[in-house]
Structure 1
Amino acid sequence: MSLATTQVATRGAVAVRSVDKSYGNQQVLHEVDLDVAEGEVLVIIGPSGSGKSTLLRTINHLDKVDRGTISLDGELIGYKVRNGKLHERRESEILAQRTEVGMVFQNFNLFGHLTALQNIIEAPIYARKIPKAKALARAKELLARVGLADKAGAYPRQLSGGQQQRVAIARALALDPKVVLFDEPTSALDPELVTEVLEVIKDLAKSGTTLIIVTHEIGFARDVADRIIFMDSGRVVEQGTPNELMTNPQHERTKSFLSKVIEPAFNI
């Protein structure tokens, strides 16, 4: 069954407006403006420390912005306007909003004391109040979809890194989010396990779900993205289709970065 079984096509538009974010004296996001269309697959690339992961974390309000706004389908994330000013939402409201934004982290973040199946049903039951029988049926469907139907009763310690990340993807989808964020989903994996995770994400990308993916896998970015943005020093430097950005980058910083990550030359 398709991952998009309950996905509505016209949902998941993200708007980032003039976002700044600092940690102490270090500003990590500078005046970031970004629109992600409903159903678009946006891939973010750039050097380490360029603000890619921080941008993802602000989209679901894991990190609060210092300035600017982020909205999902026209609704401000983490804030609401009262008397012409922004006020942070109550924690219960923020948690409810996060159920609309699935996130897959670098290091899986599975609950070690729960089985794969239990990890997936936890949020639907307690955050969405979905009946347990319905949550279990959906979880089994998702495990089958990511190729792990036979691992429902396995604990994270009994799974490979690639299998754990596939469970994490199924968990993110269990709430039927409007958008799914992937924060370097293969960076913690051994090289031979990367492909199995990327194949699951590629399949999801065909389903009409809005995806925002931070990755260092440039070949994967070229294959899966509708649009790629290049970030450096907390700024969106350049963006375009995979063909435009990979074959004809316009900014010198983009050219320099891509020259080091696309078929680098080795002196032997």
Structure 2
Amino acid sequence: MSTAVTESPTAAPAAPAASSPAATRGHVEITDVRKTFGATEVLKGVSLTVPPGGVAVIVGPSGSGKSTLLRTINHLEKVDGGYITIDGELVGYRLRHNKLHELREKDILKQRTDIGMVFQNFNLFPHLTALENVIEAPIVAQGRPKEEARKRALELLDRVGLKDRASAYPRQLSGGQQQRVAIARALALNPKILLFDEPTSALDPELVNEVLDVIRELATSGTTLIIVTHEMGFARDVADTVVFMDEGQIIEQGGPQNIFTNPREPRTRSFFSKVIEPAFNI
């Protein structure tokens, strides 16, 4: 397979400073990322830093580029410009002669074991039980012994409140339960970061809180989280940083107290005035 080449941005990625893995695990740097579909520029030079253990929540109108940005972080979407690093390591590319060369597929797949992702529609294997869904990736992608993977999977299912449904198939679970299994599956690889793409958008309203409660617990666990959501109250509760995107750009970002109660940008104020309750006092 030929190797794709992407021209480097104006400055090549700098080598990461030496430090212990524990001090930097889950440090995300998004630098001037651009993405185009056909004639439409979906991401227009997006830059964002999420420190180890940080919780960044990305909000904004439909079509603003939120989900596309999330998918570039684990290279499900290739960038057309800029670059992304996790703990100083380029995602999806290697640097040679001041150009970014796309990694081979097997190396990209290896990188993805450090980047857990929870999708809108669960994406569970329908022919596998909840337990089997959780142990599949650790055994296949990481070569863990089956009994070790099984023990860890049961611990994770217990963590998301579903240990008693370990033998159930996806069709026997509610949407909220399926999404909680998907979260356990993402955690099973012990990822550096977890990405959530509208994790409650496919759920009936009465099932939303059971999933959000699990993510709230994760937000206090020290794992770096980047979450795309339309649940504004949830964003206010869990985020260290709220990022507002519109038309492929970050319009404003800041702590939840500031950005929800006193946004600086008119576009941010206009958006929040339409989507959040009056109790936010905007």
**TM-score using structure 1 length:** 0.95
**Pairing 1:79-90 to 2, within 5 Å after superposition:** 79-90=93-104
SS at structure 2 position matched to 1:35: strand
Structure 1 match to 2:257: 243
Mapped pair 1:13 → 2:32: no
Mapped pair 1:224 → 2:238: yes
Structure 2 match to 1:4: none
1:9 Cα deviation from its structure 2 partner: 6.1
Structure 1 match to 2:4: none
SS at structure 2 position matched to 1:229: strand
Does the aligned pair in 2 maintain the 1:14–1:71 contact within 8 Å?
A: yes
Structure 1 unaligned regions, length at least 5: 1-6
**Pairing 1:87-166 to 2, within 5 Å after superposition:** 87-166=101-180
Does the aligned pair in 1 maintain the 2:33–2:43 contact within 8 Å?
A: yes
For 1:137 and 1:16, the matched residues in 2 are separated by 35
Does the aligned pair in 1 maintain the 2:24–2:87 contact within 8 Å?
A: no
1:119 Cα deviation from its structure 2 partner: 0.5
Deviations 1:88-116 (A, max 9, x none): 00111000000000000000000001100
For 1:84 and 1:20, the matched residues in 2 are separated by 18
For 1:153 and 1:25, the matched residues in 2 are separated by 48
Structure 1 match to 2:185: 171
Structure 2 match to 1:71: 85
Amino acid across the alignment from 1:69: Y
Does the aligned pair in 2 maintain the 1:45–1:215 contact within 8 Å?
A: yes
1:206 Cα deviation from its structure 2 partner: 0.4
1:8 Cα deviation from its structure 2 partner: 4.9
Q: How many residues align?
A: 259
Deviations 1:181-239 (A, max 9, x none): 00000000000000000000000100000000000000000000011010000100000
Does the aligned pair in 1 maintain the 2:198–2:230 contact within 8 Å?
A: yes
1:263 Cα deviation from its structure 2 partner: 1.3
Out of 47, 72, 88, which is 1:33 matched to? 47
Structure 2 match to 1:255: 269
1:264 Cα deviation from its structure 2 partner: 6.0
For 2:98 and 2:265, the matched residues in 1 are separated by 38
Does the aligned pair in 2 maintain the 1:9–1:209 contact within 8 Å?
A: no
For 1:15 and 1:204, the matched residues in 2 are separated by 21
For 1:65 and 1:111, the matched residues in 2 are separated by 29
Structure 2 match to 1:57: 71
After TM superposition, the runs of 4+ consecutive aligned structure 1 residues lying more than 6 A away are none
Does the aligned pair in 2 maintain the 1:9–1:39 contact within 8 Å?
A: no
For 2:199 and 2:150, the matched residues in 1 are separated by 25
SS at structure 2 position matched to 1:141: helix
1:83 Cα deviation from its structure 2 partner: 2.2
Deviations 1:14-44 (A, max 9, x none): 0011110011111110000111100000000
For 2:114 and 2:40, the matched residues in 1 are separated by 30
Fraction of identical pairs, as percent:
69
Out of 185, 188, 191, which is 2:202 matched to? 188
